[in-house]
Amino acid sequence: MAQGVYSQAELALVPEAALKLSRGCGNPTGFANIQSGDVVVDFGCGGGIDVILAAHQAGLQGRVVGIDFAPQMVEKAKSAAAEAGLLDRIELHVADMAKTPLPYGSADVVISNCVINLCPNKDEVYQEMFRILRPGGRIAISDIVLTEAVTPELQARFQSTWAGCLGGAVPEEDYWQTIWLSGLTEIQVIVRHVLSSEELEAMASCPGLEFTPPVSKEDLAAVEGKVVSVKFTAVRPA
């Protein structure tokens, strides 16, 4: 899934194992404006593709922290970082994104790639982002939202396979409200894209059919044209 989302130059920096585990819906390092020396935190680092790219951008003076609730993914990310020769600049934690071990005001940038939609309590996740950002720090997020609420029955079926990216998706208006209530401001939408039927099917079965059973064609048809990939930035006020 990394093909078409990342440039060839970016893909060349990432070990093959991390590329195979890439299940994002965007490339937050492409619009996070990461500077040399930045401390970057990746919420939901998965197999490590974005922490590796962020480490290259933050340079020798920077530091990248990856957070993921799945120990297996953190181990995969560690292996990828070691293979890329960046383990001295990348720190990885098994942790809940709503309660990280990171100090208050310790991050310049927080990125996340199609993971917050999987979190049951998005309010707490964005509040945690606000807490760890320094004043003036920023977020760069790729995520999945709905253009409108779905029926409770349909939502329950999607939630039965929560790993699929429709399981935790919420209406877009509610999502933006969550960010504003966290204290983050200056929300700027970089790209807003309605998923095609092929993209929708892939997202519904993310991270893959070996992990997530397929969603029925009737359920997919019920949300076709209503699922949106959004890429945006926001700032913690100085």
> Looking at the 3D structure of the chain, how many domains does it have?
1
Residue 15 lies inside a defined structural domain of this protein: yes
Q: What is the pLDDT of residue 215?
A: 78
Per-residue pLDDT averaged across 133-156, rounded? Answer: 93
Answer yes or no: is 29 within a domain: yes
Task: Report yes or no: 143 and 230 within 8 Å, Cβ to Cβ.
Answer: yes
pLDDT of residue 40 exceeding 90, the answer is yes
In the prediction, which pLDDT does 194 show?
A: 93
- The domain containing residue 185 runs over which residues? 8-145+169-192+231-235
Of all residues in the chain, the percent with pLDDT exceeding 90 is 66
Grade residue 216 by pLDDT with cuts at 50, 70 and 90.
Answer: confident
Q: What is the mean pLDDT of the chain?
A: 90
Alpha carbon distance 238, 231 (integer Å) = 23
Q: Is residue 156 part of a domain?
A: no
Contact 187, 234 (CB under 8 A): yes
Would you say residue 220 lies in a domain?
A: no
Q: How far is residue 36 from each of residues 9, 33, 56, 150, measured CA to CA in Å?
A: 18, 10, 9, 43
Residue 212 has pLDDT above 80, yes or no: no
What is the structure's pLDDT at 229?
93
Residue 209 has pLDDT above 60, yes or no: no
For position 75, which CATH number holds? 3.40.50.150
For residue 103, the 8-state DSSP code is: P
Question: Is residue 198 assigned to a domain?
Answer: no
Three-class SS state of 149: coil
Catalogue the E-assigned strands of 17-173.
39-43, 63-68, 90-94, 107-113, 133-146
Residue 167 confidence (pLDDT) above 90: no
Question: Does 234 have pLDDT greater than 70?
Answer: yes
Please tell me the predicted confidence (pLDDT) of residue 168: 84
Whether residue 24 is predicted with pLDDT greater than 70 in this model: the reply is no
**pLDDT tens by residue, 174-185:** 999 999 999 999
pLDDT exceeds cutoff 70 at 206:
no
- The predicted pLDDT at position 25 comes to 74
